Structure 1
Amino acid sequence: MNPQAWALVRHGETAWNRASRLQGRADIPLNDTGRAQALATAEALAEAGPWDLVVSSTLGRARETARIIAHRLGTGAVVEVTALVERDYGPAEGTGIAGLDERAKAELMDAGESAASVVLRGTAALAGLASTHAGKRLVVVSHGTLIRLVLSSLRGVDHPRVENGEVVELDAGLLLDLDERLSQKR
């Protein structure tokens, strides 16, 4: 991993992930597999370290994943950022999506918060972190849809699905550039 890069991490597995149900803002805890994934991710990150700070969404599954990682990395307390929570799927939360085609999944996901809203709040949160923690290496634990949509927007190409416990590298320089552009608009 690039020594200047951040690590974006999707939280470990939950019972709803295993059952292919849309979670969104529902605060479903990690299952045993999810905790094992968090430990494995922590070990992989320790090999790619050192890291300065672990940041997390405020939802329990991300917080627990982040705490497991922070403990292994020795970074201290986890900083929680509300804007890093998962997309709000509204009335579709809890709906099973196994066997649905991509169009049907997209329609369910669009029943709540728009993709544009997720990108706006996610990129603004990450850009703010980049500005506040310039030159630091961060591990940011969040959610699959938020990570995928933000990376797709930042890179200008569709990012594939992010698996539970997966680490995706992000060049913090992209975020600093974004924060500068956002500051100029204010």
Structure 2
Amino acid sequence: MSARTLVLLRHGRTAYNAAGRLQGQVDIPLDDVGRWQADESARALLTRETPTLIVTSDLGRAADTARVLGEAAGVRVVADERLRERSFGAWEGMLREEMLAGWPEEFAAWRKGEEPTTTGAETRAAVGVRMVEAIEEHVAGLDAGETLVVVSHGAAISIAITALLGLDPDGWKGVQGAHNAHWSVLQASGAGAVPAWRLAAHNIGPDFAPDHWAAGPDWQSAASSV
């Protein structure tokens, strides 16, 4: 391991995020608010970090968020399908009410922290394996002191952090998902240290109130019309 800093950035908002639909690996583009978030996030992130390489999920919402950051930083962007969101099988694209109606017992178990078993969902362990594999491969190509930025998805990032901290993604679920276009920072531990990475910051983003961030640049007009 050579790079000392790893930044995990979640994509900007999509129409599915706004509606509360479970995205998984459905390839949904950024909406207007998501594009604004990507711009604001890139500016804020670059005041704190200096990316050497940006690697992104190949799904459009992440790739477009990465492109904005790459153009602002003057850094190349590489796509890697191993950084995709967790697949949720039959639940993908559904609202909470639809999942509850079709799979009441399994949905209730999932909300308690258990895992769906009949929807065809990818296991958390499998997501952790592919995310860590991709991250370690790209980190290995960087020199000491350089920074890797990975642009991915909410569940995938939480699972990756868990695995990078040496915890079991299937059994330990203590990392809350980041907001859209927010990021987490991990620092490499010393040689031979366990775990190999340490979490330095989580769910960091531009300095906007949560309501403003969720609603976008026209949030005051939207609020006054309610």
Is TM more than 0.5 here?
Answer: yes
Secondary structure of the residue aligned to 1:132 is coil
Identity of aligned residues (%): 35
Matches of 2:37 and 2:142, distance apart in 1: 27
**Paired residue for 1:18?**
18
TM-score normalised over the length of structure 2: 0.69
Alignment equivalent of 2:134, drawn from 125, 129, 132? 125
**Contact 1:83–1:121 (Cα < 8 Å) also in 2:** yes
Q: Which residue number in structure 2 is paired with residue 138 of structure 1?
A: 148
Number of equivalent positions: 175
Offset of residue 50 of structure 1: 2.2
Contact 1:21–1:94 (8 Å) recurs in 2:
yes
In the TM superposition, residue 53 of structure 1 has moved relative to its aligned partner by: 1.4
Give unmatched runs, 5+ long, in structure 2. 101-106, 197-226
Deviations 1:108-165 (A, max 9, x none): 8553111110011111111111112243211110011010011122223621111111
TM-score of the two chains, using structure 1 as the length reference: 0.83
Task: For 1:37 and 1:172, locate their aligned partners in 2 and report how far apart those are by CA, in whole Å.
Answer: 28
User: Mean alpha-carbon deviation: is it higher for 21-30 or for 41-50?
Assistant: 41-50
State the Cα deviation string for residues 43-85 of structure 1 (Å, max 9, x = none). Answer: 111101322111100000000000001111111x311111001
Question: Which protein has the bigger helix share?
Answer: 1
Q: Say if 1:164 and 1:8 are closer, same or farther in 2 by CA, change over 3 A.
A: same
Q: Which runs of 5+ in 1 are unaligned?
A: 181-186
Q: Which residue of 1 aligns with 2:200?
A: none
Q: Does 1:166 align with 2:160?
A: no
For 1:115, the equivalent position in structure 2 comes to: 124
Match of 1:36 in 2: 36
> Match for residue 45 of structure 1?
45
CA–CA separation in structure 2 for the residues paired with 1:9 and 1:32: 19
